[in-house]
Amino acid sequence: MLNLRGRHLVSPSDLTLAEIDSIIALAQDMQRQRGNYSELCRGKILATLFYEPSTRTKLSFESAMLRMGGSILGFSDANASAVAKGESLADTIRVMDAYADIIVLRHPKEGAPKLASAYSRVPIVNGGDGGHQHPTQTLTDLLTIQAYKGRCSDLSVAFCGDLRYGRTVHSLIETLVRYPGGKFYLISPEELVLPLRLREYLQRTSSCQIIECRSMEDVLPHIDILYMTRIQKERFFNEADYLRLKNSYILDAAKLSLAKQDLVVMHPLPRVNEIAYEVDADPRAAYFAQAEYGVYVRMSLMAHLLGVTS
Ligand code: NCD
């Protein structure tokens, strides 16, 4: 196990591939033998500070800490905290680290977790910052890919939907291109292509193939993984654009029949309309298993950052 004690996780690039492997390996063991870890975080406190809505990220972190014998506190409605009185994030963080051993922060402003990490004496974990990054979803996704495919390299992966504002896509693609042999299809409407900064970064740093396209049907027969995403309504400036784009891509059984038998369909959830309910019964649908993997990977991540892996 590698030593990550006291580190922050703001962006997936904060972790080397060896560190990611270490987190995934422990998560796999935690899944196999959960009972062995039920006292690992006894006496530790997790604070979840959520300035934006969440179901899975917040609750899977809390479940993960409780399953390791630790305790949890926090808020999911910033208006019920001192933020409503005008308190700055820096001041909130300055006191929070006296109340908890590790902090997960979700915030609508890009860069908020980075700022928080400058003021915190305990590990800050980015639970999603605006349309920017979502590194713990990436760890969840990598554990899922590892479970279904046995590897994270040499895979053809399509990202489909809102690639502009989808922070889970940004973090995952930035990480997957660090593994060799990947081929990536970016399927989105013209208005929702991957941000230029990220596209340039991918071109500069990776030897992987990146193919932009508009049609899901053209790509489906060629891929190993389909990563569907929700159009991020809350990041749009006007509702008319959202309404026009919201049903751009819908995966249904007919489209899925074009794909390989061992395709893996992933989605960070929540889904709105982009995967028809009929797809849920298909063995290729991995999104509910993916949400479960999120608990094990967060157990492992917290054990690493708290320095209590064994
Ligand atoms: C994602 C998020 O918050 O970015 N949800 C999650 O954490 N599983 C995806 C989304 O909201 O579309």
**168 Cβ below 6 A of ligand 1:** yes
**135 Cβ below 6 A of ligand 1:** no
Q: Write the pLDDT tens digit of every residue in 179-205.
A: 999 999 999 999 999 999 999 998 888
Q: Which residues contact 85 (CB under 8 A, 6 or more apart)?
A: none
Kindly state whether residue 192 falls inside one of the protein's structural domains.
yes
φ, ψ at 188 (rounded to 5°): -160, 160
Residues with a catalytic annotation lie at: 56-57, 85, 106, 134
Q: Which of 137, 231, 234 to mutate to test the pocket of ligand 1 (most atoms within 8 A of CB)?
A: 137
CA 49 from centroid of its chain's CA atoms? 17
Do 116 and 46 lie in a common domain? yes
Kindly state whether residue 1 falls inside one of the protein's structural domains.
no
CATH of the domain at 177: 3.40.50.1370
**230 Cβ below 6 A of ligand 1:** yes
Kindly state whether residue 271 falls inside one of the protein's structural domains.
yes
Could you tell me if 131 and 165 are in contact, meaning their C-beta atoms sit under 8 angstroms apart? yes
Do 140 and 268 lie in a common domain? yes
DSSP 139-175: HHHHHHHHHHHS-SSS-EEEEES-TTT-HHHHHHHHH
**134 Cβ below 6 A of ligand 1:** yes
Please give the structure tokens belonging to residue 81: 């905290």
Kindly state whether residue 223 falls inside one of the protein's structural domains.
yes
Do 89 and 192 lie in a common domain? no
DSSP 3-state of 262: coil
Take atom 11 of ligand 1 and give the residue whose Cα is closest: 270
Q: Which domain does 179 fall in, by range? A: 135-290
Q: Is the pLDDT of residue 143 over 90?
A: yes
**Tell me, what's the pLDDT at 81?**
77
Give CA–CA dist 258/219, Å, rounded.
9
Kindly state whether residue 301 falls inside one of the protein's structural domains.
yes
Domain count, the chain: 2
Mean residue pLDDT across the chain: 95
Do 74 and 150 lie in a common domain? no
Measured from the Cα of 106, ligand 1's closest atom is 3
Measured from the Cα of 294, ligand 1's closest atom is 8
Rounded to the nearest angstrom, the distance between the alpha carbon of 54 and the centre of ligand 1 is 8
Do 265 and 146 lie in a common domain? yes
Give CA–CA dist 209/231, Å, rounded.
25
Q: Using a cut of 0.85, tell me whether the model's pTM lies above it.
A: yes
16 band by pLDDT with thresholds 50, 70 and 90:
very high
Lowest model confidence (mean pLDDT) among 74-78, 208-212, 229-233, 276-280: 74-78
Q: Is the pLDDT of residue 234 over 80?
A: yes
**137 Cβ below 6 A of ligand 1:** yes
Kindly state whether residue 2 falls inside one of the protein's structural domains.
no
CA distances from 104 to 43, 55, 85, 183 (A): 17, 14, 22, 32
The better pLDDT of the pair 68, 208 is held by 68
Do 139 and 281 lie in a common domain? yes
Q: Is the pLDDT of residue 65 over 80?
A: yes
DSSP 71-96: EEEEES-GGGSGGGGT--HHHHHHHH
Do 118 and 235 lie in a common domain? no
Do 139 and 277 lie in a common domain? yes
Give CA–CA dist 49/47, Å, rounded.
6
**56 Cβ below 6 A of ligand 1:** yes
Do 152 and 267 lie in a common domain? yes
Q: What mean pLDDT comes out for the span 138-142? A: 98
Q: What mean pLDDT comes out for the span 105-129? A: 97
Rounded to the nearest angstrom, the distance between the alpha carbon of 145 and the centre of ligand 1 is 18
Hunting for tokens 């492997």 — which residue is that? Answer: 21
Rounded to the nearest angstrom, the distance between the alpha carbon of 168 and the centre of ligand 1 is 7
**130 Cβ below 6 A of ligand 1:** no
What percent of the chain has a predicted confidence (pLDDT) above 70? Answer: 100
Do 284 and 298 lie in a common domain? no
Which among 268, 310, 308 has a CA at the least distance from the CA of 123? 308
Do 113 and 219 lie in a common domain? no
Angle between the N-to-C axes of helices 167-176 and 196-205, in degrees from 0 to 180, rounded to the nearest 10: 10
Kindly state whether residue 221 falls inside one of the protein's structural domains.
yes
Q: Which of 168, 266, 288 to mutate to test the pocket of ligand 1 (most atoms within 8 A of CB)?
A: 168
Q: Which of 56, 59, 134 to mutate to test the pocket of ligand 1 (most atoms within 8 A of CB)?
A: 134
Rounded to the nearest angstrom, the distance between the alpha carbon of 87 and the centre of ligand 1 is 26
Which among 127, 117, 131, 141 has a CA at the least distance from the CA of 54? 127
Give CA–CA dist 223/216, Å, rounded.
11
Roughly how many angstroms between the first and final C-alpha of the chain, as a whole number?
9
Do 176 and 97 lie in a common domain? no
Please give the structure tokens belonging to residue 97: 């680290």
Rounded to the nearest angstrom, the distance between the alpha carbon of 277 and the centre of ligand 1 is 19
Size of the chain, expressed as the number of residues it contains: 310
Kindly state whether residue 6 falls inside one of the protein's structural domains.
no
Rounded to the nearest angstrom, the distance between the alpha carbon of 270 and the centre of ligand 1 is 7
Q: Is the pLDDT of residue 82 over 80?
A: no
